[in-house]
Amino acid sequence: MTDTLQRPPDTEEAPPKPGSDGQSFTDELLAAIAVADPVGTTVHQRIIWCQGLIGAVGKTGHQAKDNYSYRRIDDVMNNVHLPLVKAGLYIKPIEVSIRVEEWKVWSNANREFWVEMNYEITAPDGTFVAIPATGNAIHPTDKGVAAAKSYAYKQMLSQLFSLPTDDPAMDVEHTTYTEAPRHPWWHDVGWKSEAEHVKHRTALMADSRLLPPDAVEQLKAWAEAEESLSDGVPLYDPERRAFAGSVSPEAAQAWRDQIEDLKAAHEPLSAESALIVDAATGETAAQKADRIVAEIEAEQQQLEQAE
């Protein structure tokens, strides 16, 4: 065996490309490596030999949410396993570090796992090459580390052996991009419609004004200190002297609970307090809330008819 890398000649004896002539992929790959011995002894020579034999690995996985295809770890491992065995290459995974980040968007909690790996590929003569790889995965349970390691391993194999896909979608001329649907802010916050948000917030503002002055101050103090319900932003801004412009259903319910607790802790409200009039519009709090909700609903109906 020489140290000069030589690919099998393009003759009838050359190893067939896996995946043709109706044979199973494993049968054809076994036939290919049976007539093609690794050329050279160093790890670099044997890696190049594997590159010439493995062939394309298609994108058989599909991510429905974001609508894209990807190569599955099982497909990559199935394609590289037999050439690695024939070449006598041994891959040793070395864990370098693991990092976990936890974050929460309203009521949805997630954990993002990051792993740094180092893979040593060693040939029978003792020569080896070390390849670093990074993987990450978002998973709500403890399966995130395994998923991140699988991603790192798949990316390392794909880049080490320069695995092609034979996929025309890799060509820009054959790629179609679709913009992900954009949701309005009230949808992202958690409401079914803007009118629903306005209705609840306006009712909360009206009921807050009906509280006795000392109860209003207590409510403001609670809202100023409350940050977990509004993504780190206090529900009440003392500098602007205003409550948050947009609140989630969770924050609205907590706000409502505070109002009810303050009501129960104070004397019954005077019937005259319900007649508080907005100096700018001449409306009571209830009338103003009804008017705003009606305007929002009418505007949404017009938009739906226009579509």
Please, where in the chain does CATH 3.30.390 lie? 25-174
The three-state (H, E, C) secondary structure of 231-283, written as one string: CCCCCEECCCCEECCCCCHHHHHHHHHHHHHHHHHCCCCCHHHHHCECCCCCC
pLDDT score of 17 more than 60: no
> In the chain, what percentage of residues exceed pLDDT 90?
14
Fold that domain 25-174 belongs to in CATH? Enolase-like; domain 1 (3.30.390)
More confident residue, 154 or 243: 154
pLDDT value at position 172?
45
Supply the pTM of this predicted model.
0.46
Q: How far apart are CA 286 and CA 273, in angstroms?
A: 12
pLDDT classification of 63: cutoffs 50, 70, 90: confident
pLDDT score of 241 more than 80: no
Q: Out of 65-74, 113-122, 224-233, give the one with best mean pLDDT.
A: 113-122
Q: How far apart are CA 100 and CA 143, in angstroms?
A: 12
119 beta partners: 93, 131
Mean pLDDT, residues 37-54 taken together: 82
pLDDT classification of 10: cutoffs 50, 70, 90: very low
